Amino acid sequence: MIRLRRFASRLQAEHAAMFLRRHDINAVVVGDYVEAILGTASPKMLQVELMLLDEDRKDEAESLLEEFDAEPIELEPDWEQETQPELTGLDLSAFDLSCASCGYDLRNLDASGVCPECGGEYDFLGMIVSRHGPEALEALYAEVSVLRWEKRTRCRECGEDITALPTRGRCAACGRLFDKEVDR
């Protein structure tokens, strides 16, 4: 498995992988949030890489990625707002929701807007993820997690339970590469 490219966005990386798979090139996206050690604070950064499973097709894959880059992804207007979770399922008192510029407590205001004290823009969702990590939103997805864990996924090679493993990876028992989306 070799790295083709690093992406700052999982969405863009997944689109590139799907583009390659449509051309019969087996590619997967790996990576997640990792801690970056900076002094005493450890913010989380997204590191996502597009990996090629067949080394012999590297030149073809890179050529296709150039084609992919030439045709930018066109997203529906306001797609981002439609995908943001509804924050009413969170106890906002558990989070630091003060203005990054002046420290004003924004807790009793709308989920995004302009700070009444200094005029700086804010967004609760972005603040929660950047200050507390994406796992702070876990309660919003509790139903999805429960459903995902009910169905067991097994390795096609040896039958090992791989339910708790990421969508793509290697079976710990036999070492076979798997992709739960492709191997359904």
pLDDT digits (tens, 9 = 90+) for 142-157: 654 444 445 678 888 8
65 CB-side CA count, 13 A: 21
User: Do β-strands 168-170 and 27-35 pair in parallel, antiparallel, or remain unpaired?
Assistant: unpaired
Same domain (yes/no): 62, 7: yes
Q: What is the DSSP string of 73-121?
A: PPPPTTHHHHHSPPGGGS-GGGS--B-TTT--B-TTS-SEEE-TTT--E
Q: Reply yes or no on whether the pLDDT at 63 is more than 90.
A: yes
- What sections of the chain are H helices per DSSP? 10-22, 58-70, 79-83, 124-132, 142-150
Same domain (yes/no): 111, 167: no
Q: Reply yes or no on whether the pLDDT at 80 is more than 70.
A: no
Average pLDDT over residues 113-137: 86
Q: How many domains does the chain have?
A: 3
CATH number of the domain that residue 34 is part of: 3.30.70
Evaluate whether residue 76 is within a structural domain: no
Predicted local confidence at residue 44, as pLDDT? 55
Q: For residue 68, which of 110, 115, 14 has the smallest C-alpha distance? A: 14
* Full domain range(s) for residue 114: 84-145
Same domain (yes/no): 37, 57: yes
Model pTM greater than 0.75?
A: no
Same domain (yes/no): 104, 138: yes
Same domain (yes/no): 30, 65: yes
Q: Reply yes or no on whether the pLDDT at 98 is more than 70.
A: yes
Evaluate whether residue 135 is within a structural domain: yes
Q: Report d(CA 150, CA 64) in Å as an integer.
A: 38
Same domain (yes/no): 13, 54: yes
Average pLDDT, the chain: 80
Same domain (yes/no): 23, 40: yes
Evaluate whether residue 78 is within a structural domain: no
